[in-house]
Structure 1
Amino acid sequence: MERAFFEACKALAELRDRRLYRSSHRTFEDYCRDRFGHSRRQSYLLMDAAVVFDNLVEICDQFDHKLPTAEGQVRPMTKLEPQEQQEAWLRAVELAGGKVPTGRIVKDVVQRIMERTQVPNTYQIGEVCQILAKDNPELRGKGGCWAVVSTVNDFSCTVTMWDGEYAVGLQHLKSYNYLPAECEQMRVICDRINRVYSSGLEDSVQKFLEMLGKLNRAYLTALEEKLLSVLESEIKD
């Protein structure tokens, strides 16, 4: 029963990654809204929770198999690295007297861990960064992609990529040090790519957009610009 909720979250992630939603809906967001009543944000929170849960299962014998039973108990730990997630849950179970801890207990433990490892966030809104996936399973497939910072938090940034928004820890970001004009140019390109991607065109189109999402330069070539413009006109039509 404890696993059932998180197995459903994993199934949701598989549905997104394999684009199974396209049998009935053009976009993953539309599917989640119509099928489950989820907003885009809630859907991604659930999928992030499944990743953390799997990480805790690896060491569940250390806390007598006391695993999370709700997404709210897991959400605070999505900000931590895998090893820190395990540390946080062990401590939270201990504070709860060997029982499944509440979301509040987990949040307090996570906050103390984050304060212990706090580093100043020097990123700025609009800055273009490279994603460093390292050993973070939540960023699988995103290593080397570029992203535009949309929100600056204490310990992370919300960034916009070719296929949507992600909360990324500071250790997984590296600035390209582009000039302000180049950052604005990339923001516009990012918005254009994202609109085409969310329209649900063919898989071959998605692969092209994914390729654009891994550029290591602050511009499109003439041919890339032409192809993207054609795709934009296809959406309008």
Structure 2
Amino acid sequence: MDNPPRKRKKATSTSSDLQPAVNPQNSSPQNNQDVVTIDVPAVEVPELTPEEQSDRLHLERKVERAFFEAGKALAELRDRRLYRSTHRTFEEYCRDRFGHSRQQSNYLIAAAGVYENLTTIGCQNVANQDLTTICCQILPTNERQIRPLNKLEPQQQQEVWQKAVQKAGGKVPTGKIVKDIVQSIMERTQVPNSYQLGEVCQILAKDNPELRGKGGCWAIVTQVNDFTCTVRTWDGELTVGLKHLKSYEYLPEDCQQMQEVCDRISRVYSSGLGESVQSFLESLGKLKRVYLTGLEEKVLRVLETEMKD
């Protein structure tokens, strides 16, 4: 008797049916997991057009020279006294108009001079005078990078900057790299006492009972000896060892301003106006800034008037 025809089973599919064949030797429970493949189309980044390349270079130069332009502008504002219609001093003008101290302005002005020296000497050394950080010469891009160069001669500034660029691997060096190179050069070439006449320092009285009461006071160097300095404070002169002095690293303009303040305080002190006045003058003798506040200036003027009367 013939067997009845068998029913055909419906075809079914599983996730394993959709996966590529797996070598039985490499099969494992983890290899049998569902696998999802996602195709990510490649995104093509268009190259800059010649016009865009020119615009980029132009804008980069502006960013690089921003601190230089600021320093040059501040120098002209100061030298031509273009602040005189609204402010009595350049210091007050900078504080009100730009929100920073005169010292910050002086740093920018000095940096502009250093930048100019670097580009001038750089132009003498290369044929292409298109000097930017992406062309034939690496130049500073902010003031702090070249602040340590302020006290060096123009030729020394260029030499130190080139060494700093090399140490930075051909990139714009940090201020610390520049400072370290300047320090190493000074240690090799200078005499033991590196302080200069007119330099403003802080007196460090620790472990020196002879300086009791002078700790934290600012002082102006009036004589440079081999291993000591004679300095002038608000109430007189004294000789201090080098380890008990710390330079504020003020710019020459700031040192000159501190000299004027010191002269004024000394005149009032020598007039003998009283103990309360002496306490006020002593507080001025410990300032950690190169300017007097508006109130301090008013009080000192009143004292100067009383002294004259």
Using the alignment, how far apart are the partners of 1:110 and 1:53 within structure 2? Answer: 16
Q: Which residue of 1 aligns with 2:81?
A: 19
SS of the counterpart of 1:23? coil
Q: Which residue of 2 aligns with 1:50?
A: 112
| Overall identity of the aligned pairs, in % | 56
Change in Cα spacing, 1:72 to 1:187, as seen in structure 2 (3 Å) is same
Instruction: In structure 2, give the amino acid aligned to 1:67.
Output: L
Q: Which residue of 2 aligns with 1:84?
A: 156
1:4 to 66, 71, 83: 66
The answer on whether the counterparts of 1:67 and 1:100 sit within 8 Å (CA) in structure 2 is yes
The answer on whether the counterparts of 2:111 and 2:146 sit within 8 Å (CA) in structure 1 is yes
Change in Cα spacing, 1:115 to 1:187, as seen in structure 2 (3 Å) is farther
Aligned-pair CA distance for 1:15: 0.9
The answer on whether the counterparts of 2:67 and 2:142 sit within 8 Å (CA) in structure 1 is yes
Aligned-pair CA distance for 1:120: 2.6
The answer on whether the counterparts of 1:49 and 1:75 sit within 8 Å (CA) in structure 2 is yes
Q: Deviations over 1:82-127 (max 9, x none)?
A: 2211111010111122221122211111111111222232869455
Using the alignment, how far apart are the partners of 1:96 and 1:27 within structure 2? Answer: 40
Higher relative contact order (CA 8 A, sep 6+): 1
Aligned-pair CA distance for 1:4: 2.9
Q: Which residue of 1 aligns with 2:147?
A: 75
Query: TM-score normalised to the size of structure 2?
Result: 0.44
Matches within 5 A, 1:182-221: 188=266
Instruction: In structure 2, give the amino acid aligned to 1:25.
Output: H
The answer on whether the counterparts of 1:76 and 1:106 sit within 8 Å (CA) in structure 2 is yes
1:31 to 93, 115, 136: 93
Query: TM-score normalised to the size of structure 1?
Result: 0.55
Change in Cα spacing, 1:105 to 1:156, as seen in structure 2 (3 Å) is closer
**Alignment: residue pair count:** 165
Q: Which residue of 2 aligns with 1:164?
A: 257
Instruction: In structure 2, give the amino acid aligned to 1:164.
Output: Q
Matches within 5 A, 1:84-163: 84-121=156-193, 125-128=219-222, 153=246
Structure ranking higher in helix proportion? 1
The answer on whether the counterparts of 1:73 and 1:102 sit within 8 Å (CA) in structure 2 is yes
Using the alignment, how far apart are the partners of 2:115 and 2:190 within structure 1? Answer: 24
Structure 1: unaligned runs, 5 residues or longer: 130-147, 167-183, 192-197, 200-228
The answer on whether the counterparts of 2:68 and 2:115 sit within 8 Å (CA) in structure 1 is yes
The answer on whether the counterparts of 1:52 and 1:78 sit within 8 Å (CA) in structure 2 is yes
